[in-house]
């Protein structure tokens, strides 16, 4: 069974540009989560999508947005890039929540570098 996939692996942008990151969840998983991990730091929750809708977002400005498609894949868009947006962006998926199934499976991440 294929795991969570993310593309691209690396992305280099300049300040003010927009970045689009993509994620495909594990087959059968309907929830997708996005996290930001700056170098040497812990994971910061960004966004949660389930069944095509944004369910919650972390403490990030509105220029961080995304969407989930009917096939449950997801995009994360970061507008007006700033230098401090440079980080590893991780996507995770989970199945329909239930007893003992509250586990997120992570993709390999997209390394975004803002110059």
Interface residues with other proteins (CB under 8 A) are 4, 31, 33, 35, 42-43, 45, 48, 55-56, 58, 88, 90-92, 94, 97-100, 102-109, 111
**Closer Cβ to other proteins, 31 or 68, answer by number:** 31
Query: Of 87, 74, 79, nearest to 36 (Cα)?
Result: 87
Closer CB to other proteins, residue 18 or residue 107?
Answer: 107
Least distance between other proteins and beta carbon 71 (Å): 21
Give me the residues paired with residue 93 across strands.
32, 105
Instruction: Spell out the residues 6+ positions from residue 50 whose beta carbon is closer than 8 angstroms to its own.
Output: 30, 31, 32, 68
Question: Shortest distance, CB of residue 16 to other proteins, whole angstroms?
Answer: 26
Q: Is 72 in contact with 13 (CB distance < 8 Å)?
A: no
- Cβ proximity to other proteins, 33 vs 64, nearer residue: 33
Coil vs helix vs strand at 84: helix
Question: Nearest approach, Cβ of 93 to other proteins (angstroms)?
Answer: 11
Nearer to other proteins, 18 or 38 (CB): 38
């Amino acid at each position: 069974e294929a795991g969570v996939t993310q593309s691209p692996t690396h992305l280099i942008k300049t300040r003010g540009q927009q970045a689009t990151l993509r994620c495909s969840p594990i087959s059968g998983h309907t929830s997708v989560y996005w996290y930001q991990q700056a170098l040497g730091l812990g994971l910061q929750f960004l966004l949660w999508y389930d069944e095509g809708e944004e369910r919650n977002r972390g403490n990030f400005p509105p220029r961080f947005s995304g969407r989930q498609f009917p096939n449950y894949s997801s995009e994360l868009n970061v507008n007006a890039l700033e230098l401090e947006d440079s980080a590893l962006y991780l996507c995770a998926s989970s199945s329909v929540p239930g007893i003992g199934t509250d586990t997120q499976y992570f993709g390999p991440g997209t390394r975004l570098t803002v110059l």
